[in-house]
């Protein structure tokens, strides 16, 4: 059996401040550091063969903190294709303030619709389009070969991966919630996906 683990970065400073973050390279919050370390504690029983992350520090620092906590050292494979969704003109703006300005429904459409872009930004459909070829070329062959792979990235990157993996569709991806700092483990046997589950820190 081998594993593909998807790990959303720990809470960032802008998560804490309820801001649209996107491509902005912000630090983990103190709580985010705690979350990343807790993820590593829960992953101690999986020895990773490869680790992929985005080029944004909240993702690769989460990977580094988790791996250190798990007692593993790894070179990280970083790539822009694994970055968060680009929120365009909304980047850095407070979500509640935007709801007051544009209305709850419009902000919900920008945040959660599959194919509507926020002004100057990307839709989730766009994220799927950039993550798919990267996953197929670099990650999928390792999983198929029986390797254990960690992907530390972002909420929308990982939602895109749920579509790529066939766990969700564009119609129901809104139902997928990926908490910060909690590993989502996919088990494979002889190249075939068996089940998936969130991995909480061992008591």
Which residues in the chain belong to E strands, given as ranges? 2-8, 50-53, 76-78, 149-153, 184-189, 192-198
Neighbours of 156 (CB within 10 A): 25
* Parallel, antiparallel or unpaired: strands 2-8 and 184-189: antiparallel
Of 83, 84, 48, nearest in space to 69 by CA: 48
Can 138 be counted among the known catalytic residues?
no
Alpha carbon separation from 48 to 70, 105, 106, 148, 169 (Å, rounded): 10, 42, 41, 5, 28
Which residues in 158-202 belong to E strands, given as ranges? 184-189, 192-198
How far is it, in rounded angstroms, from Cα 67 to Cα 57? 15
Can 84 be counted among the known catalytic residues?
yes
Out of 9, 11, 35, 122, pick the active-site residue. 9
Out of 35, 69, 84, 122, pick the active-site residue. 84
Neighbours of 54 (CB within 10 A): 25
Which residues does the annotation mark as catalytic?
9, 84
């Amino acid at each position: 059996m081998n594993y593909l683990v998807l790990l959303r970065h720990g809470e960032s400073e802008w998560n804490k401040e309820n801001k649209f973050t996107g491509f902005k390279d912000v630090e983990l919050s103190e709580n985010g550091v705690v979350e990343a370390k807790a993820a590593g504690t829960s992953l101690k029983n999986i020895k990773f063969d490869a680790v992929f992350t985005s080029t944004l520090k909240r993702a690769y620092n989460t990977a580094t903190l988790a791996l250190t906590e798990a007692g593993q050292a790894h070179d990280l494979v970083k790539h822009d294709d694994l970055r968060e969704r680009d929120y365009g003109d909304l980047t850095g703006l407070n979500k509640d303030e935007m709801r007051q300005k544009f209305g709850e429904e419009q902000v919900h459409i920008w945040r959660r619709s599959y194919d509507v872009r926020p002004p100057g930004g990307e839709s989730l459909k766009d994220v799927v389009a950039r993550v798919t070829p990267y996953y197929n070329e670099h990650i999928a062959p390792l999983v198929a070969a029986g390797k254990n792979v960690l992907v530390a990235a972002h909420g929308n990157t990982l939602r895109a991966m749920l579509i790529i993996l066939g766990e969700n569709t564009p119609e129901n991806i809104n139902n997928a919630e990926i908490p910060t700092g909690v590993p989502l483990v996919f088990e494979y046997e002889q190249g075939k996906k068996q089940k998936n589950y969130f991995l909480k820190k061992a008591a």
